[in-house]
Structure 1
């Protein structure tokens, strides 16, 4: 394979999810940097997975995005791109995929995490795992990491369309009375003092999507905070539903736009915990359809990836 004929790699990265309940402990241990969770922490996470059916479709959805992206690029630019799914905390681990890419002879690889907003606390780990794996190779490839794509017009249009569709599904008496509630994964409050861009990106993209829709009002909150002693960003969605109820809100559309697929933070935190709170309050809570591996989401990831391919590696 000559230098000129070598394709460019696209690594489609996601968080990872255990495949069975027996996988939960090693998965949780990897998240914790090799430290095993306490029995109570482990039991709690296993309970949540049990309640959503034992596993989530995150890997299959990520693989679906990668497979469809590969098919599109093969049809559009035959032989110019190779696509690899890679997971941060489960198989196929980033550390497993990087040597495979190098063995395939690639010299340039674009890394796209399936998460729109950047935080050093979350997304930087993908780059770190990749760079550690590259450091073990005799001939490492050049890695081009996409830090964020929350401001991409296709992302904003996709979420706006999902909101528009979901709003139409509320009963006639609710039309014009639905509060659109954006949410994203909470992170430790200390990131604000550290100058992390995460919260600003979230609020910026929520406001831009609301503007696209002409929404007179939208709200924003966090979800999925970890049980640690340090304070995490809030308000949490379950607490915020109570605040909205106290304001007189009875109809809420959940927009967990910090995520792109149906995994535990959506299936448990929104569809189970938040839904239970809404029902307790007598509120109607609906959720947008997640992007998952839908064609318009694959098109978004295609655009993000191609826009970050170094100019010197391609002539199209």
Structure 2
């Protein structure tokens, strides 16, 4: 997400040595995905409990994904740097993309080795989606059974793999059926949710569009989108409960003075000025959480992972921690507010680089949502409300950024906004 403008500027004016320096930037400086540690953590098995035969409904979790093993890092980076939505390199895309990904691979492998040998994002995403579907089978029997799928942007299972699995499972291909594209970024950005939706739109056209073997549009998969949910009550509650657990580890007399640092991936100011809604939506999440906590603790929203020569949204997380400690404020709790599970930016950048370098046990990170039952219930509540709404997507999704010039983005929004979507209570068996 955050690499769009810096790399564009890099191709315009950077020297060969600057490009080389950028290519070796630590992986924690990029928003690669919602990756996490805990590879040894067992995830409970899931068995579906369909309570109706009026479905099925495919529930597709969209995310960037991450390499599950160090051997997958190279392919992951190759796909990432080939994405012009995320990293527009213009006519140099085919040259700079492979160059940067090859040069970064060895260092990134070492970083993944340090957080457990790979990203367990697939494990947690599968767990969250499957558990959500189990709940939906009971709470929304009109659209059951709900079948879980993942669509990762740069790692397996890729969007293409997911779409082909939908077809193999009986969705679309002339047979109709419904699917929900559920973004796992609570706050919308054109470079994350937008990129994933553009990829989904591309594969829909390729596999079910006018040139896809004459598939009748009426028999294609009918899509709807959960495109953002920054202030959903269940999401806020899940964050708040995890923060309260961390605050409880501080002595009672210091507890209300702990500074809460909500950390999210930054954006180049050029992207902010284009009108990307992400900063405002992250801020909305933060304010909703501190309200739920009773506004007891001082707090700030800070931004991590700045990279490249251009101006970025600040203040930076690492600088903020250093500055507060230098002023004597050593009770700090870092909260990754824009991700729903651990990933390399929490486990490596925050834990090892930011917190680890302080050497202070009073600087802590709040646990990520991961397998939180409160969070999974929130996902199910959100999905049920969406199914009952009859809406293809939010009104906000249809509004392009004021400075948007991407025709691909415009076409993708037009497609998803035009999808017909029956209310859950109107489905007949």
TM over 0.5, yes or no? yes
Aligned length: 310
Q: CA contact under 8 A between 1:110 and 1:308: conserved in structure 2?
A: no
Of the two, which has the highest radius of gyration? Answer: 2
In the alignment, the residues of structure 2 paired with residue 95 and residue 38 of structure 1 have an alpha-carbon distance, to the nearest angstrom, of 22
Q: Secondary structure at the match of 1:53?
A: coil
CA distance in 2, matches of 1:294, 1:99: 31
Matched with 1:88 is 153
The reply to whether residue 47 of structure 1 matches residue 47 of structure 2 is: no
1:148 to 228, 231, 254: 228
Structure 2 distance, partners of 1:83, 1:283, is 40
After superposition, the C-alpha distances for 1:17-47 in whole angstroms (9 at most, x for unaligned) are: 1122121111011111162225542233222
Pairing 1:188-227 to 2, within 5 Å after superposition? 188-216=268-296, 217-225=298-306, 227=307
Point out the more displaced range, 240-249 or 19-28.
240-249
Over the aligned positions, Cα root-mean-square deviation in angstroms equals: 2.1
Per-residue CA deviations over 1:195-241 (Å, capped at 9, x if unaligned) read 1111111112211211111224211111133x434333222211111
Shift of 1:102: 3.4
Structure 2 vs 1, CA of residues 75 and 212 (structure 1 numbering), >3 Å: closer, same or farther? closer
CA contact (8 A) 2:139 2:384 kept: no
TM-score after normalising by structure 2: 0.68
CA distance in 1, matches of 2:127, 2:273: 38
Alignment of 1:55-204 (within 5 A): 55-77=118-140, 79-103=144-168, 104-105=170-171, 107-138=177-208, 139=215, 140-172=220-252, 174-204=254-284
TM-score when normalising by structure 1:
0.91
Aligned partner of 1:11 in structure 2 is 60
User: Residue in 1 aligned with 2:88?
Assistant: none
Offset, 1:90? 0.7
Q: Which secondary structure does the structure 2 equivalent of 1:92 belong to? A: coil
Structure 2, unaligned runs of 5 or more:
1-52, 84-96, 209-214, 391-421
More deviation, 255-264/214-223 = 214-223
Structure showing the higher strand proportion among its residues:
1
Return the match for 1:272 from 352, 373, 390.
352
The answer to whether the 8 A contact 1:252-1:284 is kept is yes
- In the TM superposition, what whole-angstrom CA distance separates every residue of 1:47-104 from its partner, at most 9, and x where no partner exists? 2112212213211000101221222233444544222122121111111112322342
**Residue aligned with 1:137, SS:** helix
Q: In the alignment, is residue 302 of structure 1 matched against residue 380 of structure 2?
A: yes
Quote the offset at 1:173 in angstroms. Answer: 5.1
Deviations 1:230-288 (A, max 9, x none): 33322221111112123331111111011111111111111111112322xx4621111
Paired with 1:223 and 1:161, the residues of 2 have a C-alpha distance of: 23
Name stretches of at least 5 consecutive residues in structure 1 with no aligned partner. Answer: none
Contact map agreement 2:238 2:372 (CA 8 A) in 1:
no
Report if aligned partners of 2:70, 2:112 keep a CA contact under 8 Å in 1: yes
* 3-state SS of 1:232 partner: coil
Alignment partner, residue 241 of structure 1: 321
Measure the CA separation in 2 of the matches of 1:67 and 1:144. 19
